[in-house]
Structure 1
Amino acid sequence: MTNISRSPFTNEIEQAEPPRKFSMSYFTSFKGDEDPEKHLKHYQSAMILYRNNDDLMCKIFTTTLQSEAQDWFYTLPPQSIRSFNELSLVFTKEYSSYHSIKKKSNHLFNVKKNPKESLRDYVKRFKAEKVRIVGCNDSMARATFQKGLPADYPLFKKLIMKEDLTLANSFTLAKKHALWDKAL
């Protein structure tokens, strides 16, 4: 049994009992290598019915921590956490370097096809970068995809000739072009 005086939680939190009909939800685990705010949002959404029970919010949150994150929790000074807000604050402060960096649409202008890169790999890399941009404009993404190709590349010329293409159509054309290249 855990020695209450050594817990990072106050005695009040440690001794609190869960509500009678409380059943544990499934939570994604936090290991210390991802965005802490994203983890907190997921946790708070899952615990929406119990958000007014601060003691329970604290105690259950610690069950979502694994590996390094769980080790970190037990390095907190004994009885230093008095509320879920305090726990959230120290948690996000500790793991703030793992915040997702939100990229803007103009980030795609930096994605260029490397000379030795296959068309398939370029498309794959471009798609991966596009996914990281929330609300990316399709026509701007299509233009940056095209601009990322070398001007003397055969697909570049085909894309220029068809101004009304969507990004999905451009990817389909790229796929056909990549298959045609393999046939040669």
Structure 2
Amino acid sequence: MVRALRDLKRKVESDLEVGAAATPFTKKLESTPKESGLRHFNFDSFDGLADPEEHLNYFEQISNIYDYSDLTRCRFFASTLKGGAHKWFNRIPSRSIDSWKDFREMFLKRLRANRMNELQMCHLETIQQRSKESLLEFIKRFQEAVNQLSNLEEKEAVNIFRRNLHPISCEGYVKDLIHREPQSLASAYALASKFIKENNFIKSIKMNRRIHDDDESPERRSSSRKDKRYKLDKQANYIQQSRGTPPPREGYAEQRWNERKPKAKREPKSEPEWTPLNRPRADILREVKGKPFYYPPKPLLAPPENRAGEKYCGYHEDHGHTTENCFSLKCS
């Protein structure tokens, strides 16, 4: 029994030694005295997909505030890793990190490829306000894009911001920007907050009026309609009395009809006198046919069985009448 307990103790101790050897920190680093009364600042973990330099710089700012030692920095920074970054940390060779500087360089060397590229001013042109997007939501998206720029020109950014606004939903705000010409994004955002407050105030007034109209009783509605009708009738009577007594309506339409002057009848237009032809029409047709100014006529409308089959017209290129008689007939 005692022998079995000794073997179990040796096995546990050997497992602990193996687990200790699996850590990436060297014995020299782990021999550093542990700090007491540590204070840790909570912030988001890093999964390997975001910008590693941003995460590292933020962590170092917190570490410098609390004056962490190298061992505390390494252990605390390792606890902020998750996902792919945590898998990479578990694959680090054991006893290979001797200081926080080594850990920092190894981290950047492995994950710096995931750093976001800095954007330029032309990226702001792609941030357009959608048709059903509110002004506040659009400003938030625009601010996020501005924060990612490497260099910012305030005046040009204001012009892009004004151009990317929706011309219908923000018509009043666009006019205000053109009139005031703000020189900074902060001034443009201040005008936007003022515009949003005024719009919300107008919407609340309209909503209160609508609720008041819905709550109005039917008796009150009918009485208000009667009052309006009475006012209109009273106004019509006053106008009628001021203009004098109107003529009686009986026989008024017949009197007006008799007073109308009859319209003069238009004389029919006389047919123009055409110059007589000195050549047969068939010869003239052969000469003008195929010229640029020649236009073929419309096809005959009469059915073929009702037309004379022995007569042929070169102008219509169909049977029914001759070419000489074509222009003297109504070819239909």
Residues 46, 85 of structure 2: 8 Å contact kept: yes
What's the CA shift for 1:130?
3.0
Superposed CA offset, 1:154-183 (max 9, x none): 343443233247212441355268656996
Q: CA deviation at 1:134?
A: 7.0
Amino acid at match of 2:193: T
Asked whether the equivalents of residues 30 and 66 of structure 1 are also in contact (C-alpha less than 8 Å), the reply is yes
CA contact (8 A) 2:177 2:188 kept: no
Q: Is the 8 A contact 2:74 2:100 kept in 1?
A: yes
Contact 1:119 1:178 in 2 (8 A): no
Partner of 2:163: 147
8 Å contact kept, 2:97–2:103: yes
- Counterpart of 2:133 (choices 118, 123, 133) is 118
| Cα separation, 2, equivalents of 1:71 and 1:104 | 34
- Is residue 2:192 matched to residue 1:171? yes
**How far has the Cα of 1:58 moved from its partner?**
2.5
Question: Which of residues 24, 30, 42 is equivalent to 2:45?
Answer: 30
Structure 2 residue identity aligned to 1:84? W
Contact map agreement 1:146 1:159 (CA 8 A) in 2: yes
- SS at 1:34's partner residue? coil
* Equivalent in the alignment of 1:88: 104
Match of 1:160 among 175, 178, 196: 178
Tell me which residue corresponds to 2:58: 42
- Structure-2 change in CA distance of 1:104 and 1:170 (3 Å): farther
Match of 1:59 in 2: 75
CA distance in 1, matches of 2:70, 2:86: 20
Instruction: Write the distance in 2 (CA, Å) between the matches of 1:76 and 1:31.
Output: 17
Q: Which has the larger displacement, 136-145 or 169-178? A: 169-178
C-alpha distance in 2, partners of 1:170/1:108? 20
Query: Is the Cα contact below 8 Å between 2:46 and 2:55 reproduced in 1?
Result: no
Per the TM alignment, residue 85 of structure 1 is displaced from its structure 2 partner at its CA by 1.6
What TM-score do you get using the length of structure 1 for normalisation?
A: 0.71
Structure 2 Cα separation of the partners of residues 72 and 143 of structure 1: 45
CA distance in 2, matches of 1:56, 1:169: 45
Kept after mapping to 1: 8 A contact 2:129/2:164 = yes
Q: How does 1:129-140 map onto structure 2 within 5 Å?
A: 129-133=145-149, 136-140=152-156
Q: Deviations over 1:24-54 (max 9, x none)?
A: 2214352314332222223323333646x43
Q: Residue 119 of structure 1: CA displacement?
A: 4.2
Instruction: Verify the 8 A CA contact 1:31 1:69 in the aligned structure 2.
Output: yes
Higher RCO by CA contacts (8 Å cutoff, separation 6 or greater): 1
RMSD, matched Cα: 3.5
Residue 181 to residue 123, structure 1, CA distance change in 2 (3 Å): farther
Q: Aligned equivalents of 2:203 and 2:140: distance in 1?
A: 17
Render the CA deviation track for 1:79-101: whole Å, top value 9, x for unaligned.
Answer: 22222222112212333244344
**Once the two structures are superposed, what CA deviation does each residue of 1:132-172 show, in whole Å capped at 9, x if it has no partner?**
44774544332211111366773434432332472124413
- Does structure 2 conserve the Cα–Cα contact (< 8 Å) formed by 1:10 and 1:80? yes
How many residues get paired?
Answer: 180
TM-score, length-scaled by structure 2: 0.44
Q: Note the alpha carbon deviations across 1:105-126, whole angstroms, 9 max, x for none.
A: 4432332234x34343433422
- The gaps in structure 2 that reach 5 residues or longer are 1-15, 207-332
List runs of 5+ in structure 1 lacking aligned partners. Answer: none
